Amino acid sequence: MRHFPPLLLLAWLLAMPGPALAELRGEDPTEAMVRHIAKDLRCAVCQNQSVYESNSDLAKDMLNVIRAKVAAGEQETAIRDYFFQRYGDYIYLEPTTQGMNTLLWSAPFIGLGIGGLALWLAMRQWRKRANENVKPVPTHAAMQERIQKELDQLRM
Amino acid sequence: MWIEIAHFSTLIALMLAGLMLIAPWIGLRWQRMVWIRVARQAAFMICALLTLASAGLIASFLKHDFSVQYVAEHASLKLPVFYLATAMWGGHEGSLLLWAWMLSLFVAIAAWKHWNTHPVSMPWVLSINGGLLLGFLLLVVFLSSPFERLLSPPPDGRDLNPLLQDPGMVFHPPFLYMGYVGFAIPYAFAMAALITSQGDSEWILATRRWTLFSWAMLTIGIVFGAYWAYYELGWGGYWAWDPVENASFMPWLTGLAFLHSVMVQERRRMFKTWNLFLIITTFALSLLGTFLVRSGVLSSVHAFATDPGRGVYILMFMSALLLFSFGLLTAKSDQLRETPKLESPWSKEFSFLINNLFLVAGACTVLLGTLYPLAVETLSTAKVSVGAPYYNKVFIPIMLGMLALMGLGPLIPWQRASLAKLRQEFLPAGIIGLIGMLVAPLVGVTHPSGAIATGLILFVGATHLKDLLRNIKTRMSRESLSAPGAFLRLVTRNKRRYGGMLVHLGTLVMVAGFVGSGLFQEERDLFLAKGDSMRIGSWSLTLESMDKTARRNWQADEAVIRAERPGEATLMLRPQKRVYSEHSQPTTEAAIHSSWREDLYVVLGDGVKDGVWAFRIYRTPLVSWIWIGSGIMVVGVFWAMLQGRRLQRRAD
């Protein structure tokens, strides 16, 4: 092959099908940002999928809108706001931490704290009870006699 | 013809369920044993009749009887036989029948197995299950009947949803339902114990295998669902915190809490009310799971309004069940009043209680996240979404706490431990865990929960290993056995304990899978033409060609991708984009190369222009560990189930 004139080599390469012409494709550099934004936006017609994960036409359109905006150099917050203006809170998969939502975010930990406190207080009681000396109850003489009698019978 | 047989046998089963509900009452009221035997025979009859009904529905599918509305809506002439036979649970109506059928089967087994051993509880167990069957069959017969005929049958059916034409989706519902339904038996035993005021531990011992079995089935069902979502939905993930998934996860969590806390009752006769509360909650959540998922209430308030009759009935059924169960629990609480004594918070008893606290808090979090959008939508005009990011931030920390507790499990003694003893037990494992936690960020696990999870995996693994090695050593010296012999003796003599340890081991493997797949997934979105290559991780992928392919009821575009990696054999991956003949929406068939290290996952997107196609490619480390871990978990549960009742007697 070394003897081939350069031009012929080029022609030969061009004529070869497939892999020889292979081009290493990379991802569009903005795509990571697109993904980052699209993963936290809800596909508005799906049950519970993000714009990034959904296969629906609307999600694809929304993804393209995000792509165009990222390509145009818009900031993440601006793009998120754009969708917020149109769909409201609903569009964010991660609920905001404002208003009623503070309850949503804090309730699990408050519950855990209250539960832990209750357990601790209960534990103190249970412990006190366990450590109290168990005093023998004085038995009635007649009862004592009967117990003894039955025990004797058992031994036979 | 077949469908009429199915319909009539369901109707007779419905009447027998009514009989089963009432007969034990009559028998107990007038002291006539024969009525209790009647209820027992009714249980067997219902099982036979519902088996016939399900067979009738399946037969209608196999015969392509499109005059049956349910068949016309969920099958077609081209649908392969395997999916025809299983399309019975492809829709709401049929899956409710499947539920009732499984319940009748379990009730029959319980009536057969426990008849002689639990004569006092049995009438009530029968009556309560009769009530449950009645409730379900009323729904099946009157509000969501799969037996409706169409006046003018279509020549061909509308076909099964393509997403459901997949083995994963065939096995997912029956296992999930077996889990849900299985909890009905312990629930009925618990209620019977409450009614007859013998609320001691008898019901727990009687139903130990039932709860283990149900929990195992629920695990299998959930994992099947996750696996199906992973390879069928083409989004590279397996768990989306979808309301549907959450609904099955909640009873799993409370059921797990129950499995732990009953041990305290068996051993120390404490927390009877709490255990009753947990089993009632678990079964109620199982019902909630079935109903809310299948009626579509959770996805949107509006779906509820489309069929008000069904929705109102479901609400009433749930309320009746909750009122009855918790009402009874409250009414009987005086008799159950106990004075628990715990010597020390440094005890197994108390660690189980904290375990319960975390699991119940976890279940409440999932419930809150699932119902919150519904509540907001009902109370105001606003709409909110609670998606995966919420659960990742709130639920994961709670479960990390849970994981840390798991490490205490095997080494912490019952009753009381001195601090010196605890230090001796946990110091080495704690140091190992701490080192793991600190080293993890240096080897790339920079996310805080990833680093914490890594440390905890090591900690838990170390405590379990320490316990195992110590017990092997004791046996070796006591019974002069070789190490493998001692190990075998150990795990076969105490199946329950080592089954539990195996479940813990499975959990660790799964957590590693969650960390790997959740934090280290790589994705690429790009366009490829024939001959183009791309790189992801150490893989290099080349699009060899684009083909067209077809099967009986679908045709597809198929990409042929050559995947190479230094030092490994070349792979051919063939992701497809399918269009089923009866459906317009295309579905994606991801091509997945799975190995223990990582999965390579290729999704074919849309064709852009002449020969250029969109691709989405994922490299997900350790994802197969999740499936392996869950397998280990299930084996562990079954191992624990093999344990007879010897252990409990000794514990008394």
Chain B contact present for A55, CB below 8 A: yes
Q: Looking at A102-111, A127-136, B252-261, which range is the least confident one?
A: A127-136
Rounded to an integer, what distance in angstroms lies between the CA atom of residue B54 and that of residue B104? 12
Tokens of A41: 């936006």
pLDDT over 60 at A5, yes or no: no
The DSSP annotation for B503-550 comes to HHHHHHHHHHHHHHHHHS-EEEEEEE-TT-EEEETTEEEEEEEEEEEE
On chain A, the residues whose CB falls within 8 A of the CB of B389 are 40, 93-94
Interface contact A19-B542, CB threshold 8 A: yes
Which pLDDT score, from 0 to 100, does residue B383 have? 84
Rounded to an integer, what distance in angstroms lies between the CA atom of residue B147 and that of residue B140? 9
Interface contact B384-A127, CB threshold 8 A: no
State the smallest CA–CA distance between residue B575 and chain A in angstroms: 15
Chain A contact present for B526, CB below 8 A: yes
On chain A, the residues whose CB falls within 8 A of the CB of B342 are 123, 126-127, 130
pLDDT tens for each residue of B596-642: 999 999 999 888 878 899 999 999 999 999 999 999 999 999 999 99
Interface contact A48-B526, CB threshold 8 A: no
Residue labelled with tokens 């729904």? B139
Residue B523 pairs in a beta bridge with: B618
Q: Looking at A1-15, B307-321, B367-381, B505-519, which range is the least confident one?
A: A1-15
State the smallest CA–CA distance between residue B300 and chain A in angstroms: 8
The C-alpha angle with vertex B224 and arms to B600 and B233, in degrees rounded to 5, equals 50
On chain A, the residues whose CB falls within 8 A of the CB of B398 are 108, 112
CA A39 to chain centroid:
12
Nearest to A116 among B357, B389, B533 (CB): B357
Rounded to an integer, what distance in angstroms lies between the CA atom of residue B255 and that of residue B181? 13
Which pLDDT score, from 0 to 100, does residue A8 have? 45
Nearest to B531 among A19, A104, A107 (CB): A19
**Contact between residue B616 and residue B603 where contact means Cβ atoms under 8 Å apart:** yes
pLDDT over 50 at B258, yes or no: yes
Chain A contact present for B327, CB below 8 A: no
Rounded to an integer, what distance in angstroms lies between the CA atom of residue B511 and that of residue B406? 12
Share of chain B above pLDDT 70, in %: 96
Residue B283: pLDDT band with limits 50, 70, 90: very high
pLDDT tens for each residue of A27-43: 888 888 999 999 999 88
Interface contact B526-A28, CB threshold 8 A: yes
Q: For chain B, how far is it from start to end, CA to CA, in angstroms?
A: 58
Angle at which helices B388-408 and B348-379 cross, to 10°: 170
State the smallest CA–CA distance between residue A156 and chain B in angstroms: 27
Q: Looking at A55-69, B5-19, B172-186, B615-629, which range is the least confident one?
A: A55-69
Residue labelled with tokens 């010296």? B477
On chain A, the residues whose CB falls within 8 A of the CB of B358 are 112
Rounded to an integer, what distance in angstroms lies between the CA atom of residue B562 and that of residue B572? 5
Question: Which residues, in sequence order, are CB contacts of B560 under 8 Å at separation 6+?
Answer: B543, B544, B545, B546, B547, B572, B573, B574
Residue B75: pLDDT band with limits 50, 70, 90: very high
Chain B contact present for A48, CB below 8 A: yes
Chain A contact present for B414, CB below 8 A: no
Which pLDDT score, from 0 to 100, does residue A43 have? 85
- Find the Cα–Cα–Cα–Cα dihedral B462, B465, B469, B475, rounded to 10°: 140
Mutating which of B238, B302, B525 best tests the A interface, going by the most A Cβ atoms within 10 A?
B525
Among B96, B91, B108, which Cα is nearest to B158's? B91
In order of B64, B366, B501, B595, the CA distances from B457 in angstroms are 53, 24, 14, 21
Rounded to an integer, what distance in angstroms lies between the CA atom of residue B324 and that of residue B459? 44
Which pLDDT score, from 0 to 100, does residue B257 have? 96
State the smallest CA–CA distance between residue A67 and chain B in angstroms: 12
Interface contact B534-A55, CB threshold 8 A: no
pLDDT tens for each residue of B157-170: 888 888 888 888 88
On chain B, the residues whose CB falls within 8 A of the CB of A114 are none
pLDDT over 90 at B52, yes or no: yes
Higher-pLDDT residue of B237, A24:
B237
Angle at which helices B272-295 and B308-331 cross, to 10°: 180
Residue labelled with tokens 């027998």? B16
Which pLDDT score, from 0 to 100, does residue B296 have? 56
pLDDT over 90 at B59, yes or no: yes
Among A81, A67, A78, A73, which Cα is nearest to A38's? A67
Burial of A5 by CB count in 10 Å (0-12 exposed, 13-18 middle, 19+ buried)? exposed
In chain B, which among 153-192 make CB contacts under 8 A with chain A?
none
Residue B643: pLDDT band with limits 50, 70, 90: confident
Which pLDDT score, from 0 to 100, does residue A136 have? 55
Residue B560 pairs in a beta bridge with: B545
pTM comes to 0.90
Chain A contact present for B538, CB below 8 A: no
Residue A3: pLDDT band with limits 50, 70, 90: very low
Rounded to an integer, what distance in angstroms lies between the CA atom of residue B59 and that of residue B5? 11
State the smallest CA–CA distance between residue A143 and chain B in angstroms: 27
Interface contact A119-B243, CB threshold 8 A: no
Query: How much is the ipTM here?
Result: 0.84
pLDDT tens for each residue of B214-245: 999 999 999 999 999 898 888 888 998 888 88
By CA distance, what is A96's nearest residue in B?
B384
- Longest alpha-carbon distance in chain A: 125
pLDDT over 60 at A124, yes or no: yes
On chain A, the residues whose CB falls within 8 A of the CB of B237 are 53
The DSSP annotation for B564-625 comes to E-TTS--EEE--EEEEETT--S-EEE-EEEE-SSEEEEEEEEEEEETTEEEEEEEEEETHHH
Interface contact A108-B368, CB threshold 8 A: yes
pLDDT over 90 at B300, yes or no: no
Higher-pLDDT residue of B232, B646:
B232
Chain B contact present for A137, CB below 8 A: no
In order of A135, B31, B39, B479, the CA distances from B27 in angstroms are 46, 5, 9, 54
State the smallest CA–CA distance between residue B234 and chain A in angstroms: 8
Chain B contact present for A61, CB below 8 A: no
Rounded to an integer, what distance in angstroms lies between the CA atom of residue B627 and that of residue B594? 11
Residue A54: CB atoms within 10 A of its CB come to 23
Mutating which of B385, B400, B526, B534 best tests the A interface, going by the most A Cβ atoms within 10 A?
B385
Residue B445 pairs in a beta bridge with: none
Length of chain B: 652
Interface contact A104-B386, CB threshold 8 A: yes
Which pLDDT score, from 0 to 100, does residue A102 have? 92
Rounded to an integer, what distance in angstroms lies between the CA atom of residue B401 and that of residue B351? 12
SS3 A155: helix
Average pLDDT of chain B?
89
Q: For chain A, how far is it from start to end, CA to CA, in angstroms?
A: 112
Interface contact B542-A101, CB threshold 8 A: no
**Contact between residue B508 and residue B597 where contact means Cβ atoms under 8 Å apart:** no
Which pLDDT score, from 0 to 100, does residue B125 have? 95
pLDDT over 80 at A133, yes or no: no
Rounded to an integer, what distance in angstroms lies between the CA atom of residue B11 and that of residue B31? 30
Among B211, B209, B203, which Cα is nearest to B122's? B203
The DSSP annotation for B228-251 comes to HHHHHS-SS-S----HHHHHHHHH
On chain A, the residues whose CB falls within 8 A of the CB of B384 are 89-90, 95, 101
- Find the Cα–Cα–Cα–Cα dihedral B367, B370, B373, B378, rounded to 10°: -60
pLDDT over 50 at A129, yes or no: yes
On chain A, the residues whose CB falls within 8 A of the CB of B353 are 119
**Contact between residue B133 and residue B13 where contact means Cβ atoms under 8 Å apart:** yes
Which of B43-80 are b and which e, b meaning 16 or more Cβ less than 10 Å from the residue's Cβ? bebbbebbbbbbbbbbbbbeebbbbbbbbbbbbbeebe
Interface contact B357-A48, CB threshold 8 A: no
Rounded to an integer, what distance in angstroms lies between the CA atom of residue B366 and that of residue B391? 8
Mutating which of A106, A126, A129 best tests the B interface, going by the most B Cβ atoms within 10 A?
A126
pLDDT tens for each residue of B436-453: 999 999 888 889 999 999
Among B135, B159, B115, B145, which Cα is nearest to B24's? B115
Residue A10: pLDDT band with limits 50, 70, 90: very low
Nearest to A100 among B358, B376, B534 (CB): B376
**Contact between residue B602 and residue B561 where contact means Cβ atoms under 8 Å apart:** yes
Among B410, B516, B527, which Cα is nearest to B471's? B410
Which pLDDT score, from 0 to 100, does residue B636 have? 96
Rounded to an integer, what distance in angstroms lies between the CA atom of residue A39 and that of residue A43? 10
Which of B607-618 are b and which e, b meaning 16 or more Cβ less than 10 Å from the residue's Cβ? eeeeeebebbbb
Residue B533 pairs in a beta bridge with: A24, B542
In order of A60, A103, B586, the CA distances from A90 in angstroms are 18, 17, 27
Residue A153: pLDDT band with limits 50, 70, 90: low
What mean pLDDT comes out for the span B389-403? Answer: 93
By CA distance, what is B416's nearest residue in A?
A127
On chain B, the residues whose CB falls within 8 A of the CB of A93 are 385-390
pLDDT over 80 at A48, yes or no: no
Residue B18: CB atoms within 10 A of its CB come to 17
Interface contact A115-B528, CB threshold 8 A: no
Interface contact A19-B524, CB threshold 8 A: no
In chain B, which among 223-242 make CB contacts under 8 A with chain A?
234-235, 237, 240-242
In chain B, which among 352-391 make CB contacts under 8 A with chain A?
353-354, 357-358, 360-361, 364-365, 368-369, 372, 376, 382-390
State the smallest CA–CA distance between residue B13 and chain A in angstroms: 36
Tokens of A152: 């004797």
Residue A12: pLDDT band with limits 50, 70, 90: very low
pLDDT over 70 at A132, yes or no: yes
Question: Which residues, in sequence order, are CB contacts of B452 under 8 Å at separation 6+?
Answer: B400, B437
On chain A, the residues whose CB falls within 8 A of the CB of B385 are 42, 48, 89-93, 95
Q: Pairing mode, if any, of strands B587-589 and B598-609?
A: unpaired
Which pLDDT score, from 0 to 100, does residue B460 have? 96
pLDDT tens for each residue of B467-511: 999 999 988 888 888 889 999 988 998 899 999 999 999 999 999
Rounded to an integer, what distance in angstroms lies between the CA atom of residue B594 and that of residue B620? 9
SS3 B563: strand
pLDDT tens for each residue of B305-355: 456 677 788 888 989 999 999 999 999 888 877 777 888 888 888 999 999
Angle at which helices B388-408 and B448-479 cross, to 10°: 30
